[in-house]
Chain A
Amino acid sequence: MATLGDYLIVSGMLFTIGFAGVMLRRNIIIILMALELMLNAANLSLVAFSRYHVAPVNGAPNYNAQVFVFFVITVAAAEVAVGLAIVVALYRLRQTTHVEDLRSLKF
């Protein structure tokens, strides 16, 4: 049987991959995908804790965390839709999706 720690380690590794993607890649679409990876890593640890924390009366997992994961997935879907619309608007204006070409706000 896998322990709670195994799930937390895998979740941390997935978060690290997403974080490295945000830090290292310069294409806005890939950065959005890496953000999705980080949100999913958080979801995995939430569901692992939900399964670990069983209620003493009926032995059911803690469903509050699963409701929270449901909200996170909904917000992530809305975030991706708005983010990609901004990318399309930006591409029509500047013909690029590369963050180093977009430096008008940089000091």
Chain B
Amino acid sequence: MSLVLFWIFALLMLAFGMGVIVNRNPVASALNLVVSFLGLAALFLSLDAYFIAIIQVLVYAGAIMVLFLFIIMLLDLRAEKRRKINWVALAGGIVVALAFLVQTFSVVGKFRPARETFSPLPRSTIDDVHNVGILLFSNYNLPFQIIGLVVLVATIGVVVLSKRELP
């Protein structure tokens, strides 16, 4: 993928990611998150990870976002009222975030492989679903079954949490 397309989708993702945390209305935040995830899926496509890109759109933009919107609808949340801003917490958060960003730039700047472009892939690697699937059911068979158990436990936990009678 050309550099122009990369930066278009990267800036789209970052701008809408910023929109998630600056919007006061939770519904607007959730919709910004959808666009941010679609930009990220385009970046996965540019890295030839077609399976991950499709999973990203299906699971995040499809399932998780619907869950968020359902909960926001269920709780009937309005835009937040303005509250007294805790300036110490605000300054601390901004300083730590900026420190992390500076660290990222300095580490990536010193990392020699970071300046290399990606080598072109041979035509035979286009079916990455096939390759990921083979790996998932051979080397990673036990983790795959454990992750199924995790999802089952999460499902049961959610049902127990929502059914319990509150005092």
**A60 engages B125 (CB within 8 Å):** yes
Q: Which residues of A contact B92 (CB under 8 A)?
A: 23
Total interface residues on B, using CB and 8 Å?
88
**A16 engages B55 (CB within 8 Å):** no
Range for the number of chain A residues in contact with chain B: 35 or more
Chain A residues near B (Cβ < 8 Å)? 1-10, 12-21, 23-27, 29-30, 32-34, 36-37, 40, 43-44, 47-48, 50-52, 54, 58-61, 63-64, 66-67, 69-71, 73-82, 84-89, 91-93, 97-98, 100
Chain B residues near A (Cβ < 8 Å)? 1-3, 6-7, 10, 13-14, 17-18, 20-21, 26, 29-30, 33, 36-37, 40, 43-44, 46-49, 51-52, 55-56, 59-60, 63-64, 67-68, 71-72, 74-75, 77, 80, 83, 89-90, 92-94, 96-98, 100-101, 104-105, 108-109, 111, 113-119, 121-122, 124-125, 128, 131-132, 135-136, 139-140, 143, 147, 150-151, 153-155, 157-158, 161-162, 164, 166
